[in-house]
């Protein structure tokens, strides 16, 4: 009954853990969850008010497929202000979350035989979508010794005449690693003279704790031309449920293709969210963003210290996003079994590294209150000590 292409998609490995956590919770067990990929903060009031105003103003009908001009202007202004990038309105399209932007981008560009370079650990959606579209995933492995970043040599070795695209995520989900301007420039050098596109997923741009954020497209004119920048407000302004994302590309034909696809599938994103997103982009929510960022720094610092005090575990201090990618290699090289047992015996849900393409780690989200974080890490410590005795 089903089309064969559906078989190419795997269900997210995190689903197994999440389903188990829900089952245990339903049984009345005390479950602490650190698997969430979304901020625990509420959407800022200034943004909620903008949505209420949009509804009361009657902005409830269809709009242009790629977004209302006022929103696209706000996106262009944001790119200029924050990233020193100049995009015209026909180089921008608004979609139902950054995930949808990526789906549109990959659908518009990837076909059978194309190789797509995906640094691992990766955000789970990238390889699934590439496979779905008959592309070939070429992983570049990284680890905590190289701060989870690929090197120019690794990139050079991964390039072939079939390479269509490199995916960069900065800051990274699941590691929080952030590429510096120098590191991006060195990667850009390797791509010079090739036709390789770069998809730069900058969803966590506003959640930077150390150092400065640099947009991949901003490092050179050559890089600007080959890069498609993907961003949104889900993580930075706690708007995961509003479904707003966007991409910008020098090549207008990519944007046109995405628009054509969107026009025959989802049409415009919901109209109220479009009016509201302007408020999320124009600086009105900057104070709220700063409040969340400061709180994330406190949690990160305490969680990193607590984990590194546990005999058998180690973790790097991430420069951005709200995840720790904890090394468990002294304890186990089966992160799925580790995560399942941790949940069953201590009621703590984390996501196994294998789901992100890196065995021997787990992802711990600190988008949860500090008391829960302390309690959870204490339980993980107990679990690790018992695990070692087995």
Ligand X SMILES: Cc1ncc(COP(=O)(O)O)c(C=O)c1O
Q: Which of 44, 97, 353, 355 binds ligand X (CB under 6 A)?
A: 97
DSSP β-ladder status, 351-352 and 361-365 = antiparallel
Subset of residues 191 to 210 that bind ligand X, contact rule: CB under 6 A = 201, 203
Residue 173 touches ligand X, criterion: CB under 6 A = yes
Phi, psi of 360 (to 5 degrees): 90, 20
Q: Which is nearer to ligand X, 97 or 360 (CB)?
A: 97
Nearest residue (beta carbon) to ligand X: 97
Q: Which is nearer to ligand X, 15 or 337 (CB)?
A: 15
Q: Answer left, alpha or beta for residue 213, where phi above 0 means left and psi between -120 and 50 means alpha.
A: beta
Residue 245 touches ligand X, criterion: CB under 6 A = yes
Question: ∠ CA(14), CA(18), CA(24), 5° rounding?
Answer: 150
Residue 149 touches ligand X, criterion: CB under 6 A = no
Residue 107 touches ligand X, criterion: CB under 6 A = no
Residue partners of 150: CB distance under 8 A and separation at least 6 = 119, 140, 142, 187
Residue 280 touches ligand X, criterion: CB under 6 A = no
Q: What track of x and - describes contact with ligand X for positions 23 through 62 (by CB under 6 A)?
A: --------------x-------------------------
Which range in 82-90, 93-101, 183-191, 211-219 contacts ligand X by CB under 6 A?
Answer: 93-101
Q: What track of x and - describes contact with ligand X for positions 109 through 148 (by CB under 6 A)?
A: --------------x-------------------------
Q: Which of 234, 236, 365, 368 binds ligand X (CB under 6 A)?
A: 234
Give the number of other Cβ atoms within 10 Å of residue 107's Cβ: 17
* Rounded-to-integer distance, Cα 385 and Cα 286, Å: 43
Which range in 7-15, 97-105, 148-156, 258-266 contacts ligand X by CB under 6 A?
Answer: 97-105
Q: Is residue 158 within 8 Å of residue 140, measured between CB atoms?
A: yes
66-104: string of b/e by CB count within 10 Å (b at 16+)?
bbbeebbbbbbebbeebbebebebebbbbbbbbbbbbbb
Q: Which is nearer to ligand X, 87 or 242 (CB)?
A: 242
Q: Is residue 244 within 8 Å of residue 251, measured between CB atoms?
A: no
Least distance (Å) between residue 47 CB and ligand X: 15
Phi, psi of 151 (to 5 degrees): -100, 160
Least distance (Å) between residue 54 CB and ligand X: 19
Which range in 66-74, 232-240, 296-304, 352-360 contacts ligand X by CB under 6 A?
Answer: 232-240
What is the rounded end-to-end Cα distance, in angstroms, of the chain? 47
- Residue 267 CA to chain centroid, in angstroms? 24
Least distance (Å) between residue 389 CB and ligand X: 36
Least distance (Å) between residue 97 CB and ligand X: 3
Least distance (Å) between residue 32 CB and ligand X: 20
Phi, psi of 210 (to 5 degrees): -130, 145
- Structure tokens of 337? 């079994």
Q: Which of 119, 121, 127, 232 binds ligand X (CB under 6 A)?
A: 232
3-state class of 22 per DSSP?
helix
* Rounded-to-integer distance, Cα 145 and Cα 149, Å: 9
State the residues that interact with ligand X by CB under 6 A. 37, 97-99, 123, 169, 173, 201, 203, 232, 234, 240, 245
């Amino acid at each position: 009954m089903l089309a064969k292409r559906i078989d190419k998609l795997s269900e997210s490995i995190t689903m197994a853990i999440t389903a188990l956590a829900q089952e245990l919770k339903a049984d009345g067990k005390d479950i602490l969850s650190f698997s969430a990929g979304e901020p625990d903060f509420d959407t800022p009031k200034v943004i909620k008010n903008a949505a209420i105003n949009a509804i009361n103003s009657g902005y409830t009908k269809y709009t242009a497929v790629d977004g209302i001009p006022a929103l696209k202007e706000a996106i262009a202004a944001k790119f200029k202000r924050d990233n020193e990038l100049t995009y015209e309105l026909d180089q921008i399209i608004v979609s139902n979350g950054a995930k949808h932007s990526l789906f549109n981008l990959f659908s518009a560009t990837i076909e059978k035989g194309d190789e797509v370079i995906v640094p691992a650990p990766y955000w789970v959606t990238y390889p699934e979508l590439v496979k779905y579209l008959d592309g070939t995933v070429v992983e570049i492995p990284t680890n905590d010794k190289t701060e989870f970043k690929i090197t120019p040599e690794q990139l050079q070795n991964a390039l072939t005449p079939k390479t269509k695209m490199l995916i960069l995520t900065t800051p990274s989900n699941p590691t929080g690693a952030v590429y510096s301007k120098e590191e991006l420039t060195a990667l850009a050098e390797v791509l010079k003279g090739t036709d390789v596109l770069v998809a730069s997923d900058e969803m966590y741009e506003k959640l930077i704790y150390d150092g400065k954020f640099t947009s991949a497209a901003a490092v050179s004119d050559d890089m600007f031309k080959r890069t498609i920048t993907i961003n949104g407000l889900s993580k930075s302004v706690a708007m995961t449920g509003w479904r707003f994302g966007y991409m910008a590309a020098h090549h207008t034909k990519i944007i046109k293709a995405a628009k054509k696809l969107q026009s025959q599938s989802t049409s415009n994103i919901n109209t109220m969210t479009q009016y509201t997103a302007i408020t999320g982009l124009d600086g009105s929510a900057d104070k709220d963003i700063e409040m969340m960022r400061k709180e994330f720094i406190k949690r990160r610092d305490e969680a990193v210290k607590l984990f590194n005090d546990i005999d058998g575990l180690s973790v790097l201090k991430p420069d951005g996003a709200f995840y720790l990618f904890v090394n468990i290699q002294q304890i186990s090289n089966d992160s799925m079994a580790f995560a399942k047992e941790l949940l069953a015996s201590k009621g703590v849900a984390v996501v196994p590294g294998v789901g992100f393409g890196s065995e021997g780690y787990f992802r711990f989200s600190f988008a949860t209150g500090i008391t829960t974080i302390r309690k959870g890490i204490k339980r993980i410590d107990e679990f690790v000590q018992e695990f070692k005795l087995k």
